[in-house]
Amino acid sequence: MAAPSPGTIWQPNLAFEVIATERFANQLRNAPGELAGYVSAVTAVLRVDPTVASAAFDVVRSDEEYTAIFAHGRGFLIYWVPDGHDLVLLEWLVWAG
């Protein structure tokens, strides 16, 4: 039996690990349901590629941090992606809902 071609083999994990700082977790703890839903959706996309925008939100990079802008500019999620790691650190959340 021939070995499968490299194009058909899935890597064990293609996702980034997402970790929230204590400050971020506290901000989200008492958040309204609408904001929690947005954060859940943004986080799902960040697991795939945290460095690019999506149809659901824009991404702006400044120095080492990224800002996801969602909900028509009412929400901002600031995060950091350390070089050389498959990790996203959620740092700060702003909601003007």
CATH code assigned at 30: 3.30.2310.20
Residue 31 has pLDDT above 70, yes or no: yes
Q: Is 31 a domain residue?
A: yes
Q: What is the CA radius of gyration of the chain?
A: 16
* Residue range(s) defining the domain that contains residue 54: 16-95
Q: Take residue 5 and report the two structure tokens written for it.
A: 């071609």
In the prediction, which pLDDT does 54 show? 86
CA-to-CA distance for 57 and 51, rounded, in angstroms? 12
Q: Take residue 95 and report the two structure tokens written for it.
A: 């909601």
Per-residue DSSP letter, 53: -
**Number of domains the chain contains:** 1
Q: Is 3 a domain residue?
A: no
Q: Is 8 a domain residue?
A: no
pLDDT digits (tens, 9 = 90+) for 46-91: 999 998 888 889 999 998 899 999 999 999 999 999 988 899 999 9
